């Protein structure tokens, strides 16, 4: 089943065919994938939905004056990545979600990141990946939420993935909570040698939904090195 949110915006006529962008949301059970999916697409938090349902949703968006047909697959792997081809071969971009009040959830996210890195290596096609810490509101109540090593863990993962797929597979850290969504752009990029953070950032254009501020916030311009056929030269909507 596919559900459609939003309406086609002005300028999305036949003369400007929308860019098709497929986004897969991955992560451990209970990380908040469904909640995020619903929140991104409806701009509000909804707690009543079937958490076990794997579904694909569609939304017509306008990003940087360009119509984008966004499809979001809210995946539901049992405990670890399973039958991954269904999203690996489908998605142009990946959002890996962990719950900030669960270290296990964070650890499990690395199996998804490794899977993405391996897939990029095997297919010689890298796709943008965003690592997102969800349930920021819960992290403050968790006795283990301080997790002093998390930052170094994350930087380690960023480094590992960058070396596996230096052409565009990047991991960003983001944090979200029930009512707000914040993407820590500035301090999360780990530039590889000889590359400025700004140059790395321009490898992707990622637009982030911000229900609190309203509207869409877009990132940097896309890299000329990425081909439109890959669905990456134009904005990727998260």
Which residues of the shown chain bind ligand GTP in the complex (CB under 6 A)?
Answer: 27, 29-35, 47, 51-52, 76, 134-135, 137-138, 176-178
**164 burial via Cβ count (<10 Å: 0-12, 13-18, 19+):** middle
The secondary structure of residue 21, as a DSSP letter, is: E
The CA distance from 34 to 39, in Å, is 8
State which residue, 179 or 198, has the beta carbon closest to ligand GTP.
179
Q: Using DSSP, state whether 12 is helix, strand or coil.
A: coil
Structure tokens at 108: 């499990």
Structure tokens at 160: 């590992």
The least CB distance from residue 148 to ligand GTP, in Å, is 22
The secondary structure of residue 101, as a DSSP letter, is: T
The CA distance from 208 to 233, in Å, is 16
The least CB distance from residue 76 to ligand GTP, in Å, is 5
State which residue, 134 or 209, has the beta carbon closest to ligand GTP.
134
The least CB distance from residue 74 to ligand GTP, in Å, is 6
State which residue, 39 or 69, has the beta carbon closest to ligand GTP.
39
Pairing type for strands 236-237 and 216-217 reads unpaired
Measure the CA angle with vertex 71, ends 66 and 72; round to 5°: 125
Q: Helix axis angle, 150-164 relative to 103-123, nearest 10°?
A: 10
- Helix (H) or strand (E) holding 139, with range, is helix 136-139
The least CB distance from residue 8 to ligand GTP, in Å, is 28
State which residue, 6 or 30, has the beta carbon closest to ligand GTP.
30
The least CB distance from residue 47 to ligand GTP, in Å, is 5
The least CB distance from residue 73 to ligand GTP, in Å, is 12
- Looking up tokens 């990132």 gives 219
State which residue, 112 or 150, has the beta carbon closest to ligand GTP.
112
State which residue, 62 or 109, has the beta carbon closest to ligand GTP.
109
The least CB distance from residue 34 to ligand GTP, in Å, is 3
Q: Using DSSP, state whether 67 is helix, strand or coil.
A: strand
State which residue, 27 or 235, has the beta carbon closest to ligand GTP.
27
């Amino acid at each position: 089943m596919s559900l459609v949110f939003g309406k086609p915006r002005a300028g999305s006529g036949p003369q400007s065919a929308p860019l098709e962008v497929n986004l897969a949301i991955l992560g451990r059970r209970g990380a908040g994938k469904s909640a995020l999916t619903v929140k991104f697409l409806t701009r509000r938090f909804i707690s009543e939905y079937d958490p076990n349902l794997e579904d694909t949703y569609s939304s017509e968006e306008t990003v940087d004056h360009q119509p984008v047909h966004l499809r979001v697959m809210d995946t539901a792997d049992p405990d670890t990545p399973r039958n991954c081809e269904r999203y690996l071969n489908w998605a142009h971009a990946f959002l890996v979600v962990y719950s900030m009040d669960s270290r296990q959830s964070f650890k499990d996210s690395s199996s998804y990141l490794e899977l993405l890195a391996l897939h990029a290596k095997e297919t010689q096609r890298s796709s943008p990946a965003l690592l997102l810490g969800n349930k920021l509101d819960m992290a403050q109540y968790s006795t283990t939420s301080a997790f002093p090593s998390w930052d170094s863990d994350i930087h380690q993962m960023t480094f590992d993935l960058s070396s596996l797929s230096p052409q565009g597979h990047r991991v960003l850290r983001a944090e979200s909570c029930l009512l707000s969504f914040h993407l820590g752009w500035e301090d999360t990029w780990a530039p590889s040698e000889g590359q400025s953070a700004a140059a790395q950032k321009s490898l992707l254009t990622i637009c982030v939904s911000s229900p609190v501020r309203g509207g869409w916030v877009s990132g940097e311009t896309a890299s000329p090195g990425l081909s439109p056929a890959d669905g990456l030269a134009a904005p990727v909507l998260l």
